[in-house]
Amino acid sequence: MDTNDVQLPAETLSSTEPVETTEDFAALLRENDLARANAVDRSGGSKQIDATVVSVTADSVYLDIGYKTEGVLPLSSFAAHEKAVEPGDIVRVTVKGRGEEGYYELTRQRTAAPKDYSSLEETFEKKGTVLGTVTGVVKGGLTVDIGMRAFLPSSRSGARDAAEMEKLVGQEIRVRITTLDLEGGESGRPDAVVDRRSVLEEQARADSDERFSQLAEGITVSGTVRSLTDFGAFVNLDGADALLHISDMAWHRVGNPAEIVSVGDVIEVKILKIDADDPVKRRIAVGLKQLQPHPWNTVPELFTLGEKVTGTVTRETAFGAFVELSPGIEGLIHISEMAWGKKVKKPSDIVKVGDTVEIVILGIDLEQKRIALGLKQALGDPWVELMQTVLAGSVIEGPVSRITPFGAFVTVAEGVEGLVHISEITAERRLNHPSDVLRVGEVVKAQVLEIDREKRQLKLSIKQMVPTGLDEFIAEHVVGDTVSGRIIDVSGNTARVELGEGILTLCALPAPKVEEAPAASGGGAVDLSQLGSLLSAKWKTDISPKGNGSKVVAPSTSNAVEAGQVRSFKVTALDAETKKIGLELA
């Protein structure tokens, strides 16, 4: 392709425009012939004429071309080695057209044309190309000298607009003959219609083929950003188009390609993929970030396990939220690591895209390029704080958070729940369901029965908070009080005593007393003949014989402890926490 030809972008070359028919071109040629016959053609056609130099300025030469108005020729049209042009000199010129100032614009360009029409005819039959010189702008297109006059429709000129068409005047271009009339029809003058656009398209494809053959995956090339889209940028690699996807622009997340590149930028890219299986589309994928150091190489230096860091939430998924810790480095907060003690249904309940959050690094996998993050860990473990203040037997207060068939959960602290089993809700009656007496949101008091630190479980009881007869008895008495009670049963030296309805306790009984029998005077043997009378006297009078100081066992029917008796007792111990009462016979 000639260096003066205009290279068109792919959009222009591939556009579909209405193509004029041969009859339309012929009509335009006839119209131009008629206009030339009736008036002076402002372009002068392809004919060269001898013009006389009228005057010479610092940059232009004015010539008499035989028209009413002079023509002007740039002084630069004369080579430095040529003789300096002077008024009166004869110069062969071709009229290009009329300038804005009214002068005819001239050129010294000569047409490189075939020697005879036979070569044009042969080229036409083989659909080859010929060189021609654009001689002027006419209605509907341009006139081109290819050794004979030819018409180039504007739609097939390869020019975008009228200004570009004007610039083609005087230039040598390569065209294809689409219509050839050597007989000349009504005018008797040979005519032709030529096409430049198809030649440019073929040349562009050839250039693309050559450039495509030079490309290979993995190499670094230079390209110019041609256009931007929502998903990336198209880069021209000196004739071959490639896609720079938005995900391959930078290691960090890019919201808009314009953040990274602009149309016209010359950038270095790495060829990632060439679709050799599709020779028509020839898809080429390139990357910009691949030429930059991978940010994950710095992770061991930047982050450590257990460290508390700050990041920005970049996106949400059904299983968690991704947080950018530094450009190109993201970590995942799994939905299970977002809150203590409650089930999170979706990440957006806790965090939103764009939020700045404080998190703890739970795990780093350099091979898989994954970082596990915890949001709840950064807030502090409520269990650790709770264990410092709550012990078994403590009383807590909180709202009922949820109810299940087996019990109700009570919020003890933020992120900590305790379970009140259905059997620990009330002592008054047997419940079919906890909802018979409790409602979600209801604030209740409960006693801590058991704490399982390993499983992070609290067992609570509401019924323990309801005062019983035993609680009231302990509250109303003090150690040393004398109370009445009924003996329920006796076992050995222990009696079970009922002090009131539902108030049962144990009482230790004293051991039986033993009295010694009188010994013989002088330390001799006991006189057994007197034993019967002594025992008889003891049972009747409860008075032991005197004189020798010896006693025998003598149970009293009035002090014997038996079931069913109502006796007086002295309170020896009261413990409200363990709910225990100590007694002894009064």
HEC-encoded secondary structure of 476-502: HCCCCCEEEEEEEEEECCEEEEEEECC
Give the end of a domain, one of 330, 359, 379: 379
Return mean pLDDT, the chain: 79
Which CATH number is 254's domain given?
2.40.50.140
Give the end of a domain, one of 238, 259, 291: 291
Residue keyed to tokens 């033993």? 514
Is residue 522 very low, low, confident or very high in pLDDT (cuts 50, 70, 90)? very low
Q: Is residue 18 part of a domain?
A: no
pLDDT of residue 27: 58
Q: Domain of 546?
A: 472-585
Domain shared by 452 and 397, yes or no: yes
List the single range of 41-50, 111-120, 474-483, 532-541 with lowest mean pLDDT: 532-541
Is residue 583 very low, low, confident or very high in pLDDT (cuts 50, 70, 90)? very high
Domain shared by 386 and 412, yes or no: yes
Q: Which residues contact 387 (CB under 8 A, 6 or more apart)?
A: 451, 453
pLDDT of residue 271: 92
Tokens representing 91 are: 């110069």
Counting the structural domains of the chain, the total is 4
Q: Is residue 427 part of a domain?
A: yes
pLDDT tens for each residue of 410-427: 988 877 888 999 988 887
Q: Which residues contact 436 (CB under 8 A, 6 or more apart)?
A: none
Rounded to an integer, the average pLDDT of 210-228 is: 87
Q: Is residue 556 part of a domain?
A: yes
CB atoms within 10 A of CB 202: 15
- With beta carbons less than 8 A apart as the criterion, state whether 376 and 340 touch: yes
pLDDT of residue 532: 45
Domain shared by 578 and 482, yes or no: yes
Domain shared by 436 and 503, yes or no: no
pLDDT of residue 439: 92
Residue 584, pLDDT above cutoff 50: yes
Domain shared by 370 and 443, yes or no: no
Domain shared by 459 and 480, yes or no: no
Query: HSE (CB half, 13 Å, CA atoms) of 116?
Result: 2
Is 382 exposed, middle or buried (CB count within 10 Å of its CB: 0-12, 13-18, 19+)? middle
pLDDT of residue 5: 40
- Rounded CA gap, 424 and 439, in Å? 16
Domain shared by 520 and 488, yes or no: yes
- Rounded CA gap, 59 and 55, in Å? 11
Rounded to an integer, the average pLDDT of 69-96 is: 84
Domain shared by 275 and 358, yes or no: no
- Rounded CA gap, 535 and 528, in Å? 11
Is 271 exposed, middle or buried (CB count within 10 Å of its CB: 0-12, 13-18, 19+)? buried
Q: Is residue 165 part of a domain?
A: no
Domain shared by 453 and 489, yes or no: no
Give the end of a domain, one of 465, 498, 519: 465
Report the Cα 367 to chain-centroid distance in Å.
Answer: 21
Q: Kind of pairing, strands 191-195 and 149-153?
A: parallel
Rounded to an integer, the average pLDDT of 191-199 is: 91
Residue 320, pLDDT above cutoff 90: yes
pLDDT of residue 455: 80
Q: Is residue 246 part of a domain?
A: yes
Domain shared by 286 and 300, yes or no: no
